[in-house]
Every structure is written in structure tokens, then in C-alpha cells.
Amino acid sequence: MTAYVALGDSYAAGVGGGDRVDTCWRADRGYPVQVARATRTPTAYAACIGATVDDVRAVQLDALDEATRWVTLTVGGNDVGFTPVLVAAAEPAWLNDSRDDIERALRTLREDLPGSLRGLYAEVRDRAPDATVVVTGYPRLFSSEDCQLATFFTGTEIAMLNDAAVELSGVVRTEAEAAGFGFVDVLDAFVGHAICADEEWVHGVSLPLAQSFHPRPAGHDAYSRAVLAGLRLEAAEEGDPPVVTRVPSRGSAPVFRLPRLRSARSREEAARWGLDADRMADLARTVEPMTPSTPAQEQEAADELHAMHRAVLERRGIPS
């Protein structure tokens, strides 16, 4: 019997909020640990990186029972292809135009996700009939421009992705409230703190790559404040760590990877669009995270790569 159960995906598993604790990540900066401190009760930490609605239903819900008093849940992003869409949008124009990828994700969001969440929420209520349940949304990830060295998000893609985050949170809110659950909206809290903002609460591309596009410690702290408020709990003073059982779990969704700029396909497509493929590959090697380059060399190479990207955008008639 566990009083508090934390369910969900990487945003609930604390990815980006500190060192990986186990295969599901579950860093101590994740909001479930802060809720565990506030409730001062044994906690089942079931949330896992890569979890989808089906993963939660198949594995994580076993942590619930009739004695459960509090449940938190963050899920839905992986069901609409959160990571594959980011991978597609990060690619340069000679490799991809991600607008179709984003539109496919939006169709899944609109047509499939509401029913999936509805079924999950009904099962949560059935297994924990007396629990207070709070469901969270997701933040916008991007500022107005991509400032990163090895990704190629256009302004159009950034706007579409940010709008999709708002729509995703709206669907999660609608289904959560229909189920009688509380909903925690973090969209406003993250305004001014997206990737490339002066004070980032979200990781851009970073090592390990799995934490890219997830909250930084300050972002997880913002989630914690919002979730505690949603549960009507007061933050606990730092002290003895809570009793947290990390429940065996799994996630089936992929993690982020960088565009494969030096692949055979990238070379072929670069040449097809009139670029010097060998030059492109040399520049790509310079900006790769493990290459021993100086910051000035990395920036110079990135500037030239992005100039190539803009040239192909123009040739393909893709809005920048």
C-alpha cells in the first residue's frame, strides 16, 4: 500500500533535472520527489522516460490500490510522437521538411489521444477510487529563434511546435477535468524561459542527448511548485529524504538524437540541392558534441552550415 503514486513519462521522471538514478531516470529534482517530501508518506515512483499511455496502463498502474491518497500523472507527449517530430524538425532543409511530420502528430493528437487519455483516466479512478489525482500539461519549448549549433529549426517549425504544445495541454486538460481530476497548467510559468531565452528552464541539445528538450532543474522546480499547489500541499523543508520506491517500469518511445549530417543520405541530399557535400560533412564533424573543437571553430562551422540550410530552404520554397 502506497499513499502517493507518481505516474507518467520523462517529464514526471525528472529527465533533465539531475543525474540518472536508474533506467527510467527518476532524478531527485523531479516533481514526484518534492511531492513525496510534502506528503511525508511512502511513494511509488513509477514514471519512466519514454512512457506512453499504453506503457502507463500496462506497467505503472499496478502501483495503485484503494489506499492510494495522491496520484500525479504526466503523459501524452510520446503518444503524439513528441521525440520523432523534434528529430525531424531539427534536420536541415536538404534532409527534411518537417511540416508534414508535425501535421501527422497533430492528427494523432486530435483524433486518437483524447480517447486514449479517457480510458487511462477511467482506469486510474477505478484502481484508486479515493485518491486526489492531478494531471499536468507541457510547456512551450522554444523561443522565437533556434540558437543551437547543430539543429535547424525554422521559425515556422518553432511556431508550429509551440502551438502544438498549447493544443496538447488543452487536450490533456479537457480529458482530465472530464474525469474529475485536477489539472496543472505550466504554460504561463515557462513564458520567458524556453530554449534560447536568457534564463532557460528547458535544455536544448545537451549531453546526454536523452535530456535534450526536457526541463532543466529550474524547470522541474517550476513543475514542483505547480503540482504542489494543485494538490494543495505545502513544500517541505529540505531534510531527511522521503521513502521513495522506484517501481520497475519501462517506456517504449525513442529518445532524441541529432541530425545525422555525415550520413550517406545527408551527403547525397546535400549534393542534390547544390551543396558541397564534402564541405558540409567536414563542418558537421566540427559541431558534433564529442569533437575537440574550440567554441570559435564550432560557431564558425555552425554559421556556415546554417547558411547552407537557408540556401536550400529558398531553393525548395520552404518558409524560414
Q: Can you give the three-state secondary structure of 163-205, one letter per residue?
A: HHHHHHHHHHHHHHHHCCCEEECCCCCCCCCCECCCCCCECCC
Nearest by Cα to 38 from 222, 245, 241: 241
Task: Tell me what the mean pLDDT of segment 169-174 comes to.
Answer: 98
- The verdict on residue 252 lying in a domain is no
% of the chain beyond a pLDDT of 70: 98
220 assigned to active site: no
Is 254 within the bounds of a domain?
no
258 located within any domain: no
Give the pLDDT band of residue 139 (cuts 50, 70, 90).
very high
Say if residue 51's pLDDT is above 70. yes
Domain endpoint, select from 246, 281, 300: 246
Q: Do 128 and 229 belong to one domain? A: yes
What is the overall mean pLDDT for the chain? 94
Distance CA 149, CA 288 (A): 9
Residue 240 is predicted with a pLDDT of: 63
Within this chain, do residues 36 and 178 fall inside the same structural domain, yes or no? yes
User: Is residue 129 one of the residues assigned to a domain?
Assistant: yes
**Is residue 201 domain-shared with residue 269, that is, in the same domain?**
no
Model confidence at 142, pLDDT cuts 50, 70, 90, reads very high
Neighbours of 249 (CB within 10 A): 25
Amino acid at 275: L
pLDDT of residue 94 exceeding 80? yes
Question: Are the CB atoms for 13 and 49 separated by under 8 Å?
Answer: yes
**How far does CA 107 lie from the centroid of its chain?**
19
Find the DSSP H helices in 232-275. Answer: 264-272
3 state DSSP class of 53: helix
Q: Output the pLDDT for position 244.
A: 84
Averaged over 230-239, what is the pLDDT?
Answer: 82
For 58-78, write each residue's pLDDT tens digit: 999 999 999 999 999 999 999
Q: What integer pLDDT is reported at residue 1 of this predicted model?
A: 65
- Give the whole-angstrom CA distance, residue 94 versus residue 262: 12
The answer on 136 and 39 residing in a single domain is: yes
Specify the pTM. 0.94
Cα separation, 19 vs 37, in Å, equals 19
Q: Could you say which of 246, 274, 295 is where a domain stops?
A: 246
Question: Which pLDDT belongs to residue 271?
Answer: 98
User: What sections of 91-238 are H helices per DSSP?
Assistant: 99-111, 113-127, 155-178, 217-231
The predicted model gives 217-225 an average pLDDT of: 96
Is 214 among the residues known to form the active site? yes
Domain contains 255: no
Task: Identify whether residues 237 and 269 lie together within a single domain.
Answer: no
Q: Residue 253 domain-assigned?
A: no
202 and 66 in a single domain? The answer is yes
The CATH number covering residue 88 comes to 3.40.50.1110
Residue 259 lies in a domain: no
Residue 217 lies in a domain: yes
Residues 33 and 97 in one domain: yes
* Per-residue buried b or exposed e for 251-277, using 16+ beta carbons within 10 Å of the residue's own CB: bebebbebbebeeeebbebbeebebeb
pLDDT for 239 equals 63
pLDDT class of 41 with cuts at 50, 70, 90 = confident
CB atoms within 10 A of CB 183: 18
pLDDT cut 90: percent of the chain above it: 88
Q: Are residues 226 and 150 in the same domain?
A: yes
Are both 304 and 187 inside the same structural domain? Answer: no
Q: Are residues 233 and 268 in the same domain?
A: no
* Number of domains into which the chain is organized: 2
Among all chains, which residue has been given the C-alpha cell 567554441? 295
Distances in Å between the Cα of 46 and the Cα atoms of 25, 52, 243, 300 are 11, 13, 14, 44
Cα gap 244→252, rounded to integer Å: 23
List the catalytic residue out of 10, 98, 169, 224. Answer: 10
Q: What is the mean pLDDT of the segment spanning 123-132?
A: 97
What's the rounded Cα separation, in Å, for the pair 34 and 32? 5
Of 214, 220, 306, 309, the active-site residue reads 214
DSSP character for 78?
A: G
User: Residue 116 is placed in which grid cell?
Assistant: 486514449
Beta bridge partners of 45: 6, 246
For residue 110 the three cell numbers come to 486530435
Q: Which of 215, 246, 277 is the last residue of a domain?
A: 246
**Which domain range does residue 274 map to?**
264-316
Average of pLDDT values for 273-284? 97
Does residue 112 sit in helix, strand or coil? coil
Mean of pLDDT values over 107-132: 98
268 and 228 together in one domain = no
Other beta carbons less than 10 A from residue 101's beta carbon = 20
171 near 113, Cβ under 8 Å? yes
H or E element at residue 284? helix 277-287
Q: Which three cell numbers stand for residue 54?
A: 499504453
- pLDDT of 243 > 80? The answer is no
Asked whether residue 287 falls in the same domain as residue 209, the answer is: no
